[in-house]
Amino acid sequence: MSAITVKIGGSLAGKKESMRELVGDLALLQRSRECVLVHGGGAEVTALSKTLGCLPLFENGLRITSVQEMDIVEMVLSGRINKRLVRMLSSAGINAVGVSGADGGLFRGKSISAEQANSTRTGTITGVRPALLELLLVRDYFPVVSSTSMDDSGEGLNINADEAALEIAVSLQSESLIFLSDIPGIMIGREVLSVLNEREALRAIQEGSISGGMIPKVKASLNALHRGVGEIVIGEYGGTGSLELFLTGKLGTIIKLH
């Protein structure tokens, strides 16, 4: 199976007009290709956490999810945002189905904390079983995946949505994984690179041209390419028609092995 995997962040998911345009693009894309949508939603989680008196904690940009906040994370990601996206897609004639990592054992993980007695509910993926997604796709359904999951004891886990998208794309051997971000692509100086191969990427990291939070994203992307994903695209959604431009190399940055 070579479905196209699309990952969107919470900032895009919260923009109604942009989402309407993206939904139109996805409806067109699904006519010729199988698609999976993976989403985050950290900003909405933070807003509700503060409203409910649960102070969000971050370390190096990563949410350190407390036991108390895990309920909020699951409620927002797998509830409010996931079902909002399902409704939008369904209204455009797409057979959307919302699932989380816990559904059908799609992906399971473990806490990033070594202290299991008082562990954070922020987790990392330990295994993926794509059978549920494959079943939905072959029946012409459109999976919408939130990044919450569970550990082996059945407790909830908050998985980074980028990691979830990468692992899902690997498990499906996706021909393309598109990261819709808030940046136009991978930039060297002020120039957006249209294509970046592994040799060029590693050299740019070594020279410091690629730095900060983009380093782990590029390295994780290269790892996914070695594990069977065809190509990875990073860019900012620019409105109707953008998905086709991403797939044809006319928008964003395509990361390839060679």
Please give the structure tokens belonging to residue 69. Answer: 């906040």
Distance separating alpha carbons of residues 70 and 100, to the nearest angstrom: 14
Query: Which amino acid does the sequence have at 20?
Result: R
Instruction: Supply the residues annotated as catalytic.
Output: 7, 10, 42, 162, 217
Q: Is-contact 57 66, C-beta < 8 A?
A: yes
Q: Rg of the chain over CA atoms, in angstroms?
A: 18
Tokens of 10: 């919470």
Q: Which residues contact 251 (CB under 8 A, 6 or more apart)?
A: 185, 235, 238, 242, 245
Distances (CA, A) of 196 to 77, 216, 232: 32, 15, 10
Within 10 A of 215 (CB to CB), how many other CB atoms are there? 14
CA atoms of 236 and 179, how far apart (whole Å): 8
